Amino acid sequence: MRCDALWPVGLPCMVLTAGEARSAQEERWGGLLAAAQAGDSRAYDTLLREVTPRLRQLARARIRDAAEVEDAVQDALMTIHALRHTYDPTRPFGPWMTTIATRRAIDRLRRRGRGAGRESDLDDLPEGAAAVAPVAEERIAARNLRDAVAELPESQRTALRLAKLEDLSLAEASARSGLSVGALKVATHRAMRSLRRRFGVEEGDERADR
């Protein structure tokens, strides 16, 4: 049917056809999932690749951070996989997928909310602790940081741990480590400098990052 015969004005007609296109697409996805339930892995691969942009869109509606969005998309894909037997091919596919994607996005937000609650304390720590603590949104970055700290000389590592991570005063740290206050200062400073250099952070940049 020609659309402009019914609607001389372009816009409502476009909305209508977009809706139709969407429902046709969802019908196709429902069919693909039904085939996947029977074990058709090619149909399943096609389905997951085709729904991913929509999952991303649904996640982005709730989450701003791009890495976090991608995690939510992957969670949604894994949930679709785990729940693929709960889809009834006689029913629309859209709401089924939307509930799953929305749930996973909300879970991400909650988990992140809890994490942020713990992380906020670190802002009160002295300068530099922020750079050592999980600056790393991604686990990989945290891992790299741990490795880098592990490679520091023993004295620098001790100084960093006592002064920056355990937040002891220099006097306490000196008493605990047996190093003089001056030596602690130098070791901490050197440790921070080598970490900064290693991660390509300019001097004075590390707080602006957070």
Partner 1 sequence: MQTDELISRLSQGLTPVRRVTPPMRAALGWLALAFGVVAVAVALSGFRHDLEHRLMLMHEQVNMVAALATGAAAAVAAFHLALPDRSERWALLPLPFAAFWISGLGWGCIAEFVERGWPALGMSLGCMSFIIGFGLPLTLGMLWMTRHAARIRPGPVAALAGLAAAAIASVGLSLVHHLDAAAMVLIWHGGSVLLVMLLARRWGARAMQAMRP
Q: Using CB under 8 A as the criterion, which residues of the chain lie in contact with partner 1 when the complex forms?
A: 36-42, 44-45, 48-49, 52, 70, 73-74, 77-79, 81-88, 91-92, 95-96, 99-100, 103
Q: In the complex with partner 1, which residue's Cβ is closer, 22 or 210?
A: 22
As measured in angstroms, the least distance from the Cβ of 32 to partner 1 is 11
As measured in angstroms, the least distance from the Cβ of 117 to partner 1 is 21
Q: In the complex with partner 1, which residue's Cβ is closer, 31 or 198?
A: 31
Q: In the complex with partner 1, which residue's Cβ is closer, 93 or 132?
A: 93
As measured in angstroms, the least distance from the Cβ of 206 to partner 1 is 29
How many Cα atoms within 13 Å fall on the side-chain side of residue 115?
Answer: 13
Residues 156 and 199: their CA atoms lie apart, in Å, by 17
Q: In the complex with partner 1, which residue's Cβ is closer, 73 or 159?
A: 73
Residues 191 and 199: their CA atoms lie apart, in Å, by 12
Q: In the complex with partner 1, which residue's Cβ is closer, 56 or 189?
A: 56
Residues 18 and 173: their CA atoms lie apart, in Å, by 66
Query: What Å distances lie between residue 171 and 9, 174, 176, 181, 191, CA to CA?
Result: 78, 5, 9, 7, 19
- Length of the chain counted residue by residue: 210
As measured in angstroms, the least distance from the Cβ of 75 to partner 1 is 9
As measured in angstroms, the least distance from the Cβ of 132 to partner 1 is 27
Residues 144 and 148: their CA atoms lie apart, in Å, by 6
Any idea what DSSP says for residue 201?
P
Dihedral angle sign, alpha carbons of residues 128, 133, 134, 140:
positive
With 0-12 / 13-18 / 19 or more C-beta atoms within 10 angstroms meaning exposed / middle / buried, residue 135 is middle
As measured in angstroms, the least distance from the Cβ of 63 to partner 1 is 15
Q: In the complex with partner 1, which residue's Cβ is closer, 74 or 194?
A: 74
